[in-house]
Amino acid sequence: MKPTVVGIVLAAGKGTRMKSKTPKVLHPLLGQPMLAYALQAMQEATGARPVVVVGHGAEAVQTAFADQADFALQDPPLGTGHAVQAARQAVPEGVRWVLVSNGDMPLLTADTLRSLLDAQREHAGPITMLTVEVDDPRGFGRVVRFPDGRVQAIVEEADATEEQKRIRELNVGAYCFDAAWLWDALPKLPLSPKGEYYLTDLVGLAVSEGRSVQALRLEDPTEAIGVNTRVHLAEAAAALQRRINRAWMTAGVTLIDPDRTYIEPTVRLGQDTVIWPDCYLRGETVIGEDCEIGPNTIVEDTRIGNRCRIVASVLEHAVVEDDVDIGPFGHLRKGAHLAKGVHMGNFGEVKNSYLGPGVKMGHFSYIGDATIAEDVNIGAGTITCNYDGERKHPTKIGKGAFIGSDTMLVAPLEIGEGARTGAGAVVTKNVPPYSLAVGVPARVIRKLEKK
Ligand code: UD1
Ligand code: MG
């Protein structure tokens, strides 16, 4: 079936006011580039891949979104009207409606874009535009109306009279156009005093042809936050954070201080989990039910089960099963997998290792490239010496083994089931099951009884 609607997202502008080497639309908001939000909303509203107009930093933007959009190059960028014209070649023939939004409005929702489209489908005129009424005009275009209330034009702030500047109804920067009219009208746009072709001048053009322009008013003004400076970027991030946090609280998650809780939109949380202040939950993180996370915890791309307690710790690319407690000051690095009921106390680090059910690792240990069976006790200060300066080597510890405090496990190494090492042992050779090894380098001094 041919698409009847296409979405165009404008992202070719330089973003001069950001004063950045990075293109404006690639600046991140809660872990995702600003443009990702606009693209997702557009994709949801139209059910099709949007067309992104790129120009400044085109290559970087195209690389970042290669599989989420089609691209049209606008070079040089000569204004928002010129940008939509540049997008035409990427729009399939026969499309009836064109939705346009600015790439610098990360809070605009798919629902709002959909209501613009729905309103335009019912509208006899060629344009439905989104407006908002707020006290701070933020440099937005003003919506000028006739005395009888009909829309007359959009006037950009730079070109507005003092009287027009006092208008509080602003152009948000999202529109739905009748496609045939749009393609016909774009070449008629006049050059603005700034030397640009303004998309907003299409409103005055339609009105001068005796056509009507419809304005849809935004109910939630935060959706209209446009990002032109880094001050706006922080405002948009805060608004997005409030939106996400409110949704999680509504869904049954307790946030002790939502203003100090940062949850990226990709994260999933279970019911009755409590998040203490100053937590950053990032990427593809999933946290189960009845957990307590934080304060002061970073969790990135990590799966956490139910009933876990994690205090002041950093977890990256790890898996944590049910009933695990970590911290304070634990660090799980890539490939750490803590099975059910593991206890990991203060100042522990685990990398690329499996800790079986019930393993206890209370204090000051480093475990890397290890496989540890269930119910092993890892004494304070135990280190897997996994790196010989050239290569990494594995360590294996059998079920129920007891590693004495300050043991150095020089890998590659196997500690048998039920074995023990004495405090301060430097273990360079495998320890058989149910044997006690002590000293530097450690030697087996006696067999142990099986319990
Ligand atoms: C624009 C609107 C203004 C509206 C405001 C809302 C125009 C002329 N003005 O102003 O009425 O209130 O947005 O945020 O449209 N872009 C291109 N190519 C260009 C120029 C811009 O793709 O040649 C893109 C930018 O990357 C940006 C968007 O269009 O994503 C808007 O451009 P920007 O310069 O931010 O326009 P505003 O001054 O904010
Ligand atoms: Mg802008």
347-368: pLDDT as tens digits? 999 999 999 999 999 999 999 9
Instruction: Name which of 301, 363, 388, 309 is nearest 336 in CA terms.
Output: 301
| pLDDT number for residue 1 | 67
Ligand 1 centroid to residue 122 C-alpha, Å: 27
Q: Which atom of ligand 1 is nearest to the CA of 228?
A: 35
Determine the 3-state secondary structure of 236 from DSSP: helix
Distance CA 438, CA 424 (A): 8
Q: How many C-beta neighbours within 10 Å does residue 264 have? A: 20
> Are residues 266 and 142 part of one domain?
no
Distance CA 444, CA 157 (A): 84
> Are residues 265 and 172 part of one domain?
no
Q: Measuring from atom 35 of ligand 1, which residue has the nearest CA?
A: 228
Determine the 3-state secondary structure of 37 from DSSP: helix
Distance CA 142, CA 263 (A): 35
> Are residues 358 and 306 part of one domain?
yes
Q: Which residues contact 349 (CB under 8 A, 6 or more apart)?
A: 330, 331, 332, 333, 365, 366, 367, 368
Domain membership flag for residue 128: yes
Please say if the pLDDT value at position 14 is more than 90.
no
**What percent of the chain stands above pLDDT 90?**
96
Domain membership flag for residue 180: yes
| pLDDT number for residue 138 | 85
Distance CA 363, CA 330 (A): 10
> Are residues 419 and 364 part of one domain?
yes
> Are residues 274 and 198 part of one domain?
no
Distance CA 104, CA 111 (A): 18
> Are residues 271 and 153 part of one domain?
no
Domain membership flag for residue 148: yes
Q: Measuring from atom 37 of ligand 1, which residue has the nearest CA?
A: 140
Please say if the pLDDT value at position 307 is more than 70.
yes
> Mean pLDDT over all residues of the chain?
97
Please say if the pLDDT value at position 451 is more than 80.
no
394-440: pLDDT as tens digits? 999 999 999 999 999 999 999 999 999 999 999 999 999 999 999 99
> Are residues 258 and 169 part of one domain?
no
Q: Which of 14, 71, 102, 107 should be mutated for ligand 1, with most atoms under 8 A from CB?
A: 102
221-252: pLDDT as tens digits? 999 999 999 999 999 999 999 999 999 999 99
Domain membership flag for residue 248: no
Give me Rg for the CA atoms of the chain.
30
Phi, psi for 231 (deg, rounded to 5): -65, -45
Q: Which atom of ligand 1 is nearest to the CA of 199?
A: 15
**Residues 318-349 as b or e (16 or more Cβ within 10 Å = b):** bbbbbbbbbbebbbbbebbbbbbbbbbbbbbb
Give the mean pLDDT of 29-54: 97
Domain membership flag for residue 231: no
Q: What's the pLDDT band for 193 if we cut at 50, 70, 90?
A: confident
CATH number at residue 26: 3.90.550.10
Q: Measuring from atom 19 of ligand 1, which residue has the nearest CA?
A: 79
Strand 142-145 relative to strand 151-155: parallel, antiparallel, unpaired?
antiparallel
Give the mean pLDDT of 380-405: 97
Give the mean pLDDT of 385-399: 97
> Are residues 205 and 114 part of one domain?
yes
> Are residues 293 and 207 part of one domain?
no
Token pair 């948009």: residue: 236
Q: Which of 8, 22, 26, 80 should be mutated for ligand 1, with most atoms under 8 A from CB?
A: 80
Ligand 1 centroid to residue 13 C-alpha, Å: 7
133: β partners = 169
Please say if the pLDDT value at position 265 is more than 80.
yes
Domain membership flag for residue 275: yes
> Are residues 257 and 220 part of one domain?
no
Domain boundary among the residues 172, 205, 224 is at 224
| pLDDT number for residue 218 | 97
> Are residues 275 and 157 part of one domain?
no
Domain boundary among the residues 224, 243, 261 is at 224
> Are residues 259 and 116 part of one domain?
no
Contact by Cβ (8 Å): 364, 403: no
Domain membership flag for residue 238: no
Give residue 264's domain range: 253-447
Between 94 and 375, the more confident residue is 375
Domain membership flag for residue 237: no
AA identity, residue 341? G
Work out how many domains the chain is built from and give that number.
2
| pLDDT number for residue 2 | 73
Pocket of ligand 1 (CB under 6 A): 10-13, 53, 55, 74, 77-80, 82-83, 102-104, 140-141, 154, 156, 170-171, 173, 198-200, 226, 228
Determine the 3-state secondary structure of 405 from DSSP: coil
Give the mean pLDDT of 273-300: 98
Instruction: Name which of 364, 319, 359 is nearest 345 in CA terms.
Output: 364
Q: Which atom of ligand 1 is nearest to the CA of 141?
A: 11
CATH number at residue 268: 2.160.10.10
Determine the 3-state secondary structure of 362 from DSSP: strand
